[in-house]
Structure 1
Amino acid sequence: MSVIGSNAASVEFIDVTKVYPNAKVAAVDNVSLHVETGKLVTLLGPSGCGKTTTLRMIAGLEMATSGKILIGGQDVTSLPATDRDVSMVFQSYALFPHMSVRENVEYGLKFSGFPKKEINERAMAGLDLVGLQDFGARLPSQLSGGQQQRVAVARALVLEPQVLLFDEPLSNLDAKLRRQVREDIRDIQTKLGLTVVYVTHDQEEALAVSDRIIVMRNAVIAQEGTPRDLYDAPASAFVADFIGEANLLDCTISRVDNGTATVALGPVNLKLPARNLPPGPAQLAIRPGRLAFENAGTPNTLAARLTKVTYVGRHLECLAETEVGQVFAICTDVNAPFKSGDNIALGFPDRAPVLIPAQSI
């Protein structure tokens, strides 16, 4: 049985604001959030949105200007990083190049006052957990990027922190390795029941690893929810376009009856959940993979002329011109005989379009 257990705790922000000296705007503006114990929550957003500042305030590397930060129900707002039971895995890994892998993993334990025997047991258990039990004598320079990342994870895990923080942990890895390491991180988090706050700007990465995602924009929370919530029901054009690809098309809500909107998209009439929107201008967010390819002239479809068809292995990527604008659509039938210049029709299955407010991006 592993000597590494879980000391996981919840994280809560209550009206937290961070303003840097001489800054004209807040880096984080009146943010409230809750990370449940044992869950992996991702802070997702473009550069400068406030996600890394939020992470650093959890760690105690930045102090909140106002508001409260609770870890495990305890107010840690004024505590420095050294007095918070939090470990952070940095984008650069921050491994000591002159120390062996095992010495790197043991480093934090030595400064935490663990007895020598327990330091040895925890270090070996940590390396075993990340699949590097036979690599303890090597130097970091003798490891691949993915292996170095795992050493950084092991070094954080052996301290059994209440909260484990990841700051863009996969950005230095190639695409194939990113997939593998994110699966490793998710497996370890699930196995140990760790509370993890994870920062990334990569939408696919966030969808793959998270229990919940908090999308940030301009220092505030734009939307939060499960990966499926955000993908299937974005609250705004920004979220729709940031969480995966989406066609954003202008439409008109002609009436709303018992929560169902009658929507006109050019010549197409749709019945959709109104999502509390009133009659008038709105937008539709439509995922490229949820459009139906129909024969030209099919009733209640959007006439389209293909301007580009690209084979990318698993599917065809198609650009089409329509009377409501350019539409990007994905055809999963790689043997479909589509080519540039073809006239087709695009249909809208029930789960394809989602109403969002007009001009909300």
Structure 2
Amino acid sequence: MSISSKAAPVIFKDVTKIYGKDVVAVDNINLEIEAGKLVTLLGPSGCGKTTTLRMIAGLEMATKGAIQIGDKDVTLLPATDRDVSMVFQSYALFPHMTVMENVSYGLGFSGFDKSETRDRAADGLDLVGLKGFGDRLPSELSGGQQQRVAVARALVLEPQVLLFDEPLSNLDAKLRRQVREDIRDIQQNLGLTVVYVTHDQEEALAVSDEIVVMRNAAIAQIGSPRALYDEPADHFVADFIGEANIIPCEISSVSGDQAKINIDEFTHVLPARGLQPGAASLAVRPTRLILGAEVGLEMQVKKATYVGSRMEYTLEASFGQVFAISEEVDEPHEVGETIMVGLDAIWPVLLPAR
């Protein structure tokens, strides 16, 4: 089975979706998804990510703007006339049909004869690691296996675009990791264009070529997982992608592209990112705080939690609380202890003041 030749780009041009008179679900977004890439729409509930996905599928129609799949304007086309397949959160398998019958279902409407339908369905099950499971009922499968059947059912239709709507939310943590790796492997091996919706930041970082972070019906930032993690555009993206401590600071001087900042009596030099002297914010990942440093900010340990592979700390500083993670589990800091906390030389990022 080879699908890469059919993979198509998806383009949104000034697309808005309004429900009723004034409920704006998607607000004038422009987006280009490259053919053969896995792009994740990420954001909190109500941000517009699922509505955006459903407009690609044709399950919702844009109020304004244009949507293009490949070289075809699909803005006004119903779902049945778009060459896309969708994998739902709930699997949506027919409980009375066997796995093979479920995977074959859509092929029955596509003009294939029985022999080709059977061969394509068998190839699809092989792709998702379920060879030999064709005679089972969905109830005889685990949640992860049922989700793979749903993926196989979508794959065998050889769509231009494959859509995933929160596909892992019904699985436990171990299965989520396994199935997301399966989805990523299949996408890369077949060169599929995939649009993937989730509210789980770790999931988005793990599977995506590019992430579209959405907030309040609009796009907050677009970038690769590493770019979004290392160079968030604002406080929302910094805190939503991987969690960050937002610390108030003062830029005392800027020289070239480097800024010198003050937090209380502590000073630090880092990229200015276009900011000028004055009030600013510093975003610091919990893993980028150096506990027990020789030079840094004085903080008191308020909470210390052992979670197996690491310690998690809540620390109290003059400007408020911060959250820190340390892999040093054998000699943890004690609650009530006052420690010096330094900043990693690599990651802290300057942002405009709140």
Query: How does 1:113-124 map onto structure 2 within 5 Å?
Result: 113-124=111-122
State the distance in 1 between where 2:38 and 2:344 align. Answer: 32
State the distance in 2 between where 1:104 and 1:267 align. Answer: 66
Partner of 1:351: 346
Q: How many residues align?
A: 354
Unaligned runs of 5+ in 2: none
State the distance in 1 between where 2:240 and 2:331 align. Answer: 29
Cα-to-partner distance string for 1:39-86 (whole Å, 9 max, x where unaligned): 100000001000000000001111111111111132111111111100
For the structure 1 residues 5 and 117, does the alpha-carbon distance in structure 2 shift closer, same or farther, using more than 3 Å as the test?
Answer: farther
Which secondary structure does the structure 2 equivalent of 1:19 belong to?
A: strand
- The answer as to 2:337 corresponding to 1:342 is yes
Query: How does 1:151-300 map onto structure 2 within 5 Å?
Result: 151-295=149-293, 298-299=294-295
State the distance in 1 between where 2:253 and 2:112 align. Answer: 68
Partner of 2:6: 7
Farther-moved stretch of structure 1 (325-334 vs 187-196):
325-334
State the distance in 2 between where 1:71 and 1:258 align. Answer: 44
Cα deviation, residue 109, structure 1: 0.5
Contact 2:3 2:191 in 1 (8 A): no
Unaligned runs of 5+ in 1: none
State the distance in 2 between where 1:329 and 1:302 align. Answer: 13
Cα deviation, residue 5, structure 1: 5.8
The one-letter code sitting in structure 2 at the alignment partner of 1:227 is P
Contact 1:4 1:158 in 2 (8 A): no
Cα deviation, residue 19, structure 1: 0.7
Partner of 1:106: 104
State the distance in 2 between where 1:157 and 1:178 align. Answer: 19
TM-score normalised to structure 1 length: 0.95
The one-letter code sitting in structure 2 at the alignment partner of 1:279 is P
Cα-to-partner distance string for 1:243-290 (whole Å, 9 max, x where unaligned): 112111111112222222121112211111111222221111100001
- Of 133, 136, 146, the residue aligned with 2:134 is 136
Cα deviation, residue 3, structure 1: 6.2
Contact 1:89 1:165 in 2 (8 A): yes
- The answer as to 2:86 corresponding to 1:88 is yes
TM-score normalised to structure 2 length: 0.97
State the distance in 2 between where 1:97 and 1:260 align. Answer: 61
Percent of pairs identical after alignment? Answer: 68
State the distance in 2 between where 1:33 and 1:73 align. Answer: 15
State the distance in 1 between where 2:4 and 2:13 align. Answer: 29
Tell me which stretches of 4 or more aligned residues in structure 1 moved more than 3 Å: 2-6
- Of 47, 58, 61, the residue aligned with 1:60 is 58
State the distance in 1 between where 2:290 and 2:340 align. Answer: 8
Cα deviation, residue 6, structure 1: 4.7
Contact 1:291 1:352 in 2 (8 A): no
State the distance in 1 between where 2:89 and 2:220 align. Answer: 25
